[in-house]
């Protein structure tokens, strides 16, 4: 099974980096990208990804609210990402419905696969 990933970030350099991480992770592929919270909700509905990598700070609807809406609609598992330390947003992860919070500084193929396995209950990607 290939895990289809929607990357949501308003910064092109991070979207490019995230594309590389997804492409470098066996069993994962990029389904699409979004630059705002509103766009992420529409694309989650239209593209039906398995996983959404959601930046917390987005223009318009922030990543926490967009996550809440995507999870409530049953579209995908969401992992929140940010440059802020986990202490800043970690407690708000559960409130948003996100499966986990990953600091952008530690995001890579191994962590992506581990977070997906934990969130989806699968042994491997």
Q: What is the chain's pLDDT, residue by residue, as a tens digit (125 residues)?
A: 899 999 999 999 999 999 999 999 999 999 999 999 999 999 999 999 999 999 998 988 999 999 999 999 987 999 999 887 666 666 677 788 899 888 898 899 999 999 999 988 764 44
From the options 2.40.110.10, 3.40.30.10, 3.40.50.2300, 3.40.50.720, give the CATH code of 3-119.
3.40.50.2300
Evaluate whether 5 touches 22 at the Cβ level (below 8 Å): yes
C-alpha distances in Å from residue 6, one per residue of 44, 54, 110, 111: 7, 8, 18, 16
What is the DSSP secondary-structure string of 60-115?
Answer: SS-HHHHHHHHHHTT--EEEEEESS-HHHHHHHHHHHT-SEEEEGGG-SHHHHHHH
d(CA 68, CA 124): 26
pLDDT number for residue 125: 40
């Amino acid at each position: 099974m290939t895990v289809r990933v929607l990357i949501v970030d308003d910064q092109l350099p991070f979207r490019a980096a995230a594309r590389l991480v997804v492409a470098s992770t066996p069993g994962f592929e990029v389904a699409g990208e979004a630059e705002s919270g509103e766009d992420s909700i529409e694309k989650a509905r239209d593209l039906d990804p398995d996983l959404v990598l959601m930046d917390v700070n987005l223009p318009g609807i922030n990543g926490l609210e967009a996550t809440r809406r995507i999870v409530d609609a049953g579209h995908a598992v969401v992992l929140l990402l940010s440059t802020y330390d986990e202490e800043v947003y970690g407690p708000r992860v559960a409130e948003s419905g996100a499966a986990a919070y990953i600091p952008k500084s530690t995001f890579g193929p191994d962590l992506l696969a581990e977070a997906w396995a934990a969130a989806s209950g699968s042994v491997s990607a």
